[in-house]
């Protein structure tokens, strides 16, 4: 129903805006790209209420959060975060509509975070480098690397929150508001599935990749990396090392802990 669609989209947008605003002061090594664990909110709405509600709520919510943070309608958010969030969480809802299960949720989380963050990162960096010219000239040479770095930053900082908080939130909403969700959602039980091998691998594999990138950066001559345009200065390069190595270790630890806990539960 139109009224219910508007109400749920508005609720998603407001909750996402509030959650995003609370962590808006934490940025990536490039000085842009906020730490945003609140991304789990549109993921949950897209899962339970469909692609349009999840996409619209995410797009409006990110614009509200960015605009409030900057005290005006934030143009950079309009040209990058709004389309990226809408496409990403519309895709999330569409994937979950095809098959409502934890396995689908894991796959949808990985695909959506890659697609959405790639759209946001490349549009944002391109806009700042070539349209606004608000980034230093040093950023122009390596704008593709910076964009890929932002994709990695958002992916590794968002994925654990979506995977760890999403399923229990979905179960809680289904239990509290059964009249709002589909019959498929009410009849599909995710209990006992949350410790599956695929759940831990969703953490371990990107963790290994992040750690590998961090080690390559750490053991490569910094002058060579700076000359290639990978980073515009030594400070940002150091931040990249910490980000990749730290996030890689964190994801590996989380994945291993989930897998070990699942084995213990299975033996009990």
pLDDT digits over 142-180, tens only? 788 888 889 998 999 899 999 989 989 998 998 888 888
Structural tokens at position 167: 């399923």
What secondary structure does DSSP assign to 16-83, as a single string?
HHHHHHHTTT-B-TTS-SB--GGGHHHHHHHHHH-HHHHHHHHHHHHHHHHHHHHTS--HHIIIIIHH
Q: Is the pLDDT of residue 39 over 70?
A: yes
Share of the chain above pLDDT 70, in %: 94
């Amino acid at each position: 129903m139109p009224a219910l669609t508007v109400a749920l989209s508005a609720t998603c947008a407001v909750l996402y805006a509030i959650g995003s605003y609370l962590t808006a002061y934490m940025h990536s090594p490039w000085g842009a790209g906020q730490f945003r664990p609140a991304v789990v909110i549109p993921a949950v709405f897209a899962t339970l209420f469909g692609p349009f509600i999840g996409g619209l709520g995410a797009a409006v919510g990110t614009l509200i959060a960015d605009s409030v943070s900057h005290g005006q309608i934030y143009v950079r958010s309009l040209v990058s975060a709004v389309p990226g969030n809408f496409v990403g969480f519309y895709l999330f809802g569409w994937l979950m509509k095809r098959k409502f299960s934890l396995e689908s949720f894991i796959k949808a989380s990985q695909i959506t975070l890659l697609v959405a963050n790639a759209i946001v990162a490349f549009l944002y960096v391109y806009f700042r480098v070539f349209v606004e010219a608000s980034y230093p000239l040093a950023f122009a040479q390596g704008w593709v690397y910076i964009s890929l770095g932002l994709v990695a930053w958002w992916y590794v900082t968002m994925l654990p929150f979506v995977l760890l908080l999403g399923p229990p939130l979905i179960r809680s909403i289904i239990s509290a508001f059964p009249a709002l969700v589909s019959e498929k959602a009410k009849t599909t039980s995710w209990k006992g599935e949350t410790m599956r091998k695929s759940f831990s691998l969703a953490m371990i594999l990107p963790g290994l990749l992040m750690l590998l990138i961090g080690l390559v950066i750490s053991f490569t001559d910094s002058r060579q990396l700076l000359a290639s345009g990978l980073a515009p200065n030594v400070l940002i390069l150091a931040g990249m090392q910490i980000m990749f190595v730290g996030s890689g270790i964190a994801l590996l630890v989380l994945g291993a802990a989930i897998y070990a806990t699942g084995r213990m539960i299975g033996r009990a």
